[in-house]
Amino acid sequence: MTQKTSNKHLPLTEASYYILLALVTPNHGYAVMQEAEVVSQGTVRLAPGTIYGALAALETGKLITMVGTEGRRKIYQVTELGKQVLREQIHRYQIMLENAVNKSELWAANTTEEGEIL
């Protein structure tokens, strides 16, 4: 798998990011919705329409695959390509966080106590 192959899937939407993260272990859509809310500390709530549309798109893109069923529920798991894309997205987030920290330190060094720019 090449960098070019995984780059076509980047950047991930917030929903796709949390779905891939939740599917590192096999799970069904409803459990993925719950996992996303827990992992995001309540900041992300995936509606059924969002989750099932995203699951279909991720499966079409070969980032996840159906590995079984539980009654009517389909069980999905992230693929090797999906793991690579997830790793690259996490790396992108790390760069963004480093930039934010660096800029906030620069911002703090160049503002007064009242928040005015020097």
Cross-strand pairs, 28: 75
Domain region containing 17: 3-109
Decide if 51 is inside a domain: yes
Decide if 83 is inside a domain: yes
Which residue reads 């980047």 in tokens? Answer: 10
CATH for 83 = 1.10.10.10
What pTM did the predictor assign? 0.83
Residue 104 burial (CB < 10 Å; 0-12/13-18/19+)? exposed
* pLDDT tens by residue, the chain, 118 residues: 556 667 899 999 999 999 999 999 999 999 999 999 999 999 999 999 999 999 999 999 999 999 999 999 999 999 999 999 999 999 999 999 898 888 877 767 766 777 665 5
